[in-house]
Amino acid sequence: MSIHPSAMVAAGAVVPASCTVGPFCTIGPEVVLGEECRLISHVVLDGRTRLGARNVVYPFASIGVAPQDLKYKGEPTETVLGDDNTIRESVTISRGTVGGGGVTKLGSHNLLMTCVHIGHDSIVGSHCILANAATLAGHVTIEDYVTLGAFCPVHQHCVVGAHAFIGGGTIVTQDVLPFSLTSAKRENRAFGINKIGLQRKGFSAERLQTLQKAYRYLLAAKMNTTQALEKMRELEGEDVALLAAFIERSQRGVIK
């Protein structure tokens, strides 16, 4: 086991021998690390926090810290991370609250760039990129394969759909459509599918064409959302079904 002499590891913490704990790291008594995790230096892991395998955490990141919620009174809530995540400098991830479900979750294979904040009770999927200073207020859900640009704040209870790409500086106050490109440069509007990103992930030309038809109904045709959904149901494929279901269950409305 490689633990720097200046690190503070509390009794009760679980740190496998394959892990590396760098200088001036602080690990609380209820923290559990998976195999081959690396804490570079000055990392704080607090509360009931569980990391999966092969996570790399850079200096001054704080994971599992108390939520920024005045209603929180020290209840034993949790923070759970999956495998193979890269947590860059000064990232903060708050533990959950009783009122919000009690847990903040991050999936696997994510990149959280410098100064990202994940607020209490937020759920982030897998294969996501959150660029510098992207911030999630409490109770946010980010689905799989999302790219969230730099300096993007996401309002409480918003949902960002799978494969969405959100341009830097976009203020997100409603749900973001799956597969979409959304940008502040277009007045915080969705303006089509994330074609390049979807191609890179192996989407076939046929799948892209079907999604483009669905988005034309939704964004370009002179239809309201209900009418667009009726036309979308005529199209075949799981992608369109996922898109339609996302719209139907949205609580905050979607960015169009």
Residues 204 and 127 in one domain: no
Does residue 184 lie in a domain region? no
Of the three residues 99, 119, 142, the one that is the final residue of a domain is: 142
Question: Residue 187: what pLDDT?
Answer: 62
Does residue 176 lie in a domain region? no
Q: What is the CATH number of the domain that holds 216?
A: 1.20.1180
Question: How many domains, in total, are found in the chain?
Answer: 2
Judge whether 63 and 87 are in contact, CB under 8 Å. Answer: yes
All residues at 6 or more sequence positions from 204 whose CB lies less than 8 Å from its CB, including other chains: none
CA distances, 213 to each of 76, 139, 177, 205, 210 (Å): 48, 32, 15, 12, 5
pLDDT digits (tens, 9 = 90+) for 121-159: 999 999 999 999 999 999 999 999 999 999 999 999 999
pLDDT digits (tens, 9 = 90+) for 220-252: 888 888 999 999 999 989 999 999 999 999 999
Q: Is the pLDDT of residue 186 over 80?
A: no
191 confidence band (pLDDT: 50, 70, 90): confident
184 confidence band (pLDDT: 50, 70, 90): confident
Catalytic sites, residue numbers: 120-121, 138
Judge whether 117 and 91 are in contact, CB under 8 Å. Answer: yes
First to last CA, the chain: 52
Residues 17 and 124 in one domain: yes
Does residue 157 lie in a domain region? no
Question: Residue 141: what pLDDT?
Answer: 98
Q: Is the pLDDT of residue 115 over 70?
A: yes
Residues 221 and 137 in one domain: no
Does residue 188 lie in a domain region? no
Does residue 256 lie in a domain region? no
Residues 224 and 122 in one domain: no
Question: Residue 106: what pLDDT?
Answer: 98
Of the three residues 101, 119, 142, the one that is the final residue of a domain is: 142
Question: Residue 188: what pLDDT?
Answer: 67
Q: Is 222 exposed, middle or buried (0-12, 13-18, 19+ CB in 10 A)?
A: exposed
**The two structure tokens encoding residue 164:** 């969405």
Residue given tokens 């395998």 in the structure block: 53
134 vs 155: CA distance, rounded Å? 11
* Pairing status of strand 26-27 against strand 20-21: unpaired
Does residue 83 lie in a domain region? yes
**The two structure tokens encoding residue 84:** 């193979």
132 vs 167: CA distance, rounded Å? 12
Residue given tokens 């689905």 in the structure block: 143
Of the three residues 116, 142, 168, the one that is the final residue of a domain is: 142
Task: Point out which residues pair with 247 in neighbouring strands.
Answer: none
18 vs 37: CA distance, rounded Å? 7
Does residue 155 lie in a domain region? no
pLDDT digits (tens, 9 = 90+) for 6-48: 999 999 999 999 999 999 999 999 999 999 999 999 999 999 9
Judge whether 56 and 38 are in contact, CB under 8 Å. Answer: yes
Q: What is the CATH number of the domain that holds 124?
A: 2.160.10.10
CA distances, 20 to each of 6, 35, 62 (Å): 13, 10, 17
Question: Domain range for residue 236?
Answer: 198-249
